[in-house]
Amino acid sequence: MKWCIIMPDHNDSLSAATWQPLLATRYMGRGDALVLAEATSTNTLLKEMALRGAVAGSLCLCETQTAGKGRLGRSWHSPAGQGLWLSVLLRPRLKPEQAPLVTLCAAMAMEQAVREVTGLDTRIKWPNDLVLQGKKLCGILLEIGFGAEGIDYIIVGTGLNVRRGAYPAELAHQATSIEDHRTPPPRRKLLVHYLAALEDIITRLENEGFPALAKAYRARSCTLGSQVHVSGSVDFTGVAEAIDETGALLVRDETGELRRVLAGDVSVRGVMGYV
């Protein structure tokens, strides 16, 4: 295992020495690890590591990002010490059309980790958000590289709001943090629980497919069964009914037609300001 550690040591340190001994995984978190006080984007740096041959389970995490990425080209607010800003490298045994399912798996893993560590009743908003009491707690961003034989790598970036300072004050009506609801746990504890859950869920996806995970996903979803508004290349309102085998959202629109949603913004009534 190769480590690059240039972070200060403090009570909530993310230095490798504080969390590596706590790992209960076979490979997740046991490859190369780039642990930084400041990074442009953990996704960008881990992609560079992937292209240089880093193994599955390698990761990049930092105290703050200067150019954090969100979905659909948005930026991600990543102030120092306020969250878990992390990217993990996967090289999964999946078909290219299955790649979007990894977003759902990462959301399931982070939801499980937060619930196990804090006891908070978190929910998953399709395709890439974790919400708590209707506000955004965590975002997920996938970056996928393809080779001649299919998927070469998947970078799974996550931004989890741990302390109140993780999000700008002007987004308080849409965003939340763990500290808004309880005393925040050490970030290293959240990290090791997330890595363990991610390894388990990705392994099940590889071996059994998404149907093996669908029941658990639905139980934690705030999207399925709810009224949603889809915008982007199409614009309509309906009720989200299911997730198909590729991770697409199936929405019954107001005319009764069942429509397959692959991309775009999906707002859920009662969540993150949509009423």
Q: Show me where the domains of the chain are located.
A: 3-220, 227-268
The predicted pLDDT at position 73 comes to: 53
Q: What is the mean pLDDT of the chain?
A: 91
Asked if residues 259 and 250 have their Cβ atoms less than 8 Å apart, the reply is yes
For residue 147, pLDDT beyond 60? yes
Q: In the predicted model, what is the mean pLDDT of residues 65-84?
A: 73
Domain 3-220 falls in which CATH fold?
BirA Bifunctional Protein; domain 2 (3.30.930)
Closest CA to 135 of 126, 145, 123, 149: 123
For residue 270, pLDDT beyond 80? yes
The predicted pLDDT at position 245 comes to: 86
| Second CATH level (architecture) for the domain 227-268 | Roll (2.30)
For residue 274, pLDDT beyond 90? no
Stated pTM of the model: 0.92
Instruction: State which of 65-74, 133-142, 266-275 shows the largest mean pLDDT.
Output: 133-142
**Residue 120's pLDDT band (boundaries 50, 70, 90)?**
very high
The predicted pLDDT at position 67 comes to: 67
Long-range contacts of 189-192 (CB under 8 A, 24+ apart): 189/22, 189/117, 190/84, 190/113, 190/114, 190/117, 190/160, 190/162, 191/14, 191/19, 191/29, 191/61, 191/84, 191/86, 192/19, 192/22, 192/23, 192/24, 192/29
